[in-house]
Amino acid sequence: MPALWDEFRALSAIPVMVIRGANSDLLSAETVATMTTVHPNVEVVTVADEGHPPLLHHGQILARISAFITAVEGAGPPADAIVPREAAHFDLDAPDG
């Protein structure tokens, strides 16, 4: 796999959030630690008991993502407005679609 550190350094002017599943076998804790030394503005979120990619269905994680985006882009919805919703299910064989 090619090293992409030069490309990552090119993002140094842009705030970056790294979301890592604690059980990830693709993105190691050591790599994330190096990312924080290479990039001056990295926020790291480690999701316990998740692999790669971590599921983003917990309100607490969604609130962290929302807070990061708000800090970068400006005002957003309140954290308690970020609530995961159950995906809609469709039965194409049902008479009403």
pLDDT of residue 78: 66
Q: How far is CA 85 from the centre of its chain?
A: 18
User: Which two structure tokens, joined as six digits, stand for 4?
Assistant: 């992409």
pTM of the model: 0.70
Q: CB count, 10 Å around CB of 33?
A: 11
Amino acid (1-letter code) at residue 46: T
Residues of the chain with pLDDT under 70: 1, 76-84, 96-97
Catalogue the E-assigned strands of 1-97. Answer: 16-21, 42-47
pLDDT of residue 17: 96
Contact indicator for 19, 28 with CB cutoff of 8 Å: no
pLDDT of residue 19: 96
